[in-house]
Structure 1
Amino acid sequence: MTKWTVDQVHSAIGFEVKHMMVSKVRGQFDSYTAEVEAEDLTDLTTASIEFKIDTASINTGNLDRDNHLKSADFFDAENNPTIDFKSTSISKNGDDYKVNGDLTIKDVTKTVTFTVGFGGKGINPWGVEVYGFEAEGKINREEFGLTWNAALETGGVLVGKDIKIKVELQLNPAV
């Protein structure tokens, strides 16, 4: 098995959620680590994938909202410093892969599935082979204890339940 690292300069872990039932808030986590091991990254079914995301690195472009998300109302970053993902199975599905794994947020672990597309491989300017992937998934935030909300006078709620997750990765050989 070969070990791979995430090139964070060319990667992103992002999300979006409905706001006030009419628009979307997008954000990302700016700090994370990943361990990927695989026999061959052109066949992701041979891989083992683990992520640790720094909860306090959440960034929606609004400091007040980010501080609220870090608070006990949402992630409680002080007591839950990471969001963890560990793959449990990976299968080929047409041109894509289905990556199943355990996602842990606020000490709640649920099985989630990401659809992963292989973006290709290339050689960087230093002669090193790199691989690209895009992953998408969706979770219900309330299932992970992220239940804070506010009712709107016009009906509905301030924050939607469904969180769309999008991950873009460039993997480099571990040194």
Structure 2
Amino acid sequence: MHKRILGLVAVAACLVVPAAAAVSLGDAAGSYTISPAASSIRFTVGKAGGGGFDGAFARFKGNIRIDNSDVERSRVNITIFPESVGTGQNRIDAFLRSDAVFDAANNPEIQFRSTSVNRTSATTAVIDGRLTARGKTFPEKFTAELDGLKSGTIKFHVTGKVLRSRYGMDVGTPLYSNVVDFDMTLTGRRG
């Protein structure tokens, strides 16, 4: 009877632990190309008194390399094409592409290059790097959580906050927040 109870407890414990917890960053070692079709880069800019707007970038590319012997030596490189910004509102999209914000005609790329990856648990890490937009480069920090690893495909949920004023995009402040909240799903394919 005692063995049966222990067996049921073990099965229940396995059901409670999320599937991603069984996979660690160390298990995910390798190089991956980010698949835009299976990924998303979304952002939110708040507004005083509530509201604001949400948007996303339709075009981006990048790669993730997870070091087999030392996760902290891993690398993330992402390039975003700001002309692909979309909010669902044509007037706001045109404004964001204009020289008042992204200046997409003269600055066709936004780049993030990691400088370090600091593991915070078996499935999470803080990624420090350098973000370049409108010809200005500053250190930024993002949090990544491993959401899955299956058949050569890896998936991360990445979040972070960026001050847009640092990059000369502070038009509309303080009515619109200076903080841009990023919420990304990055899916990479090994190879």
Name the TM-score class by shorter chain: 0.7 to 0.9
Q: Distance in 1 between matches of 2:49 and 2:131?
A: 26
Q: Which residue of 1 aligns with 2:46?
A: 18
Q: Distance in 2 between matches of 1:122 and 1:133?
A: 12
How far is the alpha carbon of 1:163 from its aligned partner? 0.4
Q: Distance in 2 between matches of 1:139 and 1:21?
A: 21
Q: Distance in 1 between matches of 2:32 and 2:64?
A: 5
Letter in 1 for 2:164: R
Q: Which residue of 1 aligns with 2:95?
A: 68
Q: Which residue of 2 aligns with 1:149?
A: 172
Q: Which residue of 1 aligns with 2:183?
A: 166
* TM-score, normalised relative to structure 1: 0.85
1:85 corresponds to 2:112: yes
Letter in 2 for 1:84: Q
SS in structure 1 at match of 2:42: strand
Q: Distance in 1 between matches of 2:84 and 2:55?
A: 10
How far is the alpha carbon of 1:145 from its aligned partner? 0.6
Q: Which residue of 2 aligns with 1:136?
A: 159
Q: 1:30 aligned to 54, 58, 62, which one?
A: 58
* Residues 21 and 160, structure 1, Cα contact 8 Å, conserved in 2: no
SS in structure 1 at match of 2:156: strand
SS in structure 1 at match of 2:83: helix
* TM-score, normalised relative to structure 2: 0.78
How far is the alpha carbon of 1:170 from its aligned partner? 1.1
Letter in 1 for 2:163: N
SS in structure 2 at match of 1:61: coil
1:29-57 CA distances to partner (integer Å, 9 max, x unpaired)? 000110222334xx753421111100100
Letter in 2 for 1:32: F
Q: Which residue of 2 aligns with 1:54?
A: 81
Task: Identify the structure with the greater strand proportion.
Answer: 1
SS in structure 2 at match of 1:69: helix
Q: Distance in 1 between matches of 2:71 and 2:104?
A: 32
1:119-173 CA distances to partner (integer Å, 9 max, x unpaired)? 12113xxxxx2111011000111111102117xxxxx61x211100111011101
Q: Which residue of 1 aligns with 2:127?
A: 99
- Aligned length in residues: 162
Q: Which residue of 1 aligns with 2:37?
A: 9
Q: Which residue of 2 aligns with 1:153?
A: none
Who wins on radius of gyration, i.e. which is larger?
A: 2
Q: Distance in 2 between matches of 1:132 and 1:46?
A: 19
* Residues 125 and 143, structure 2, Cα contact 8 Å, conserved in 1: yes
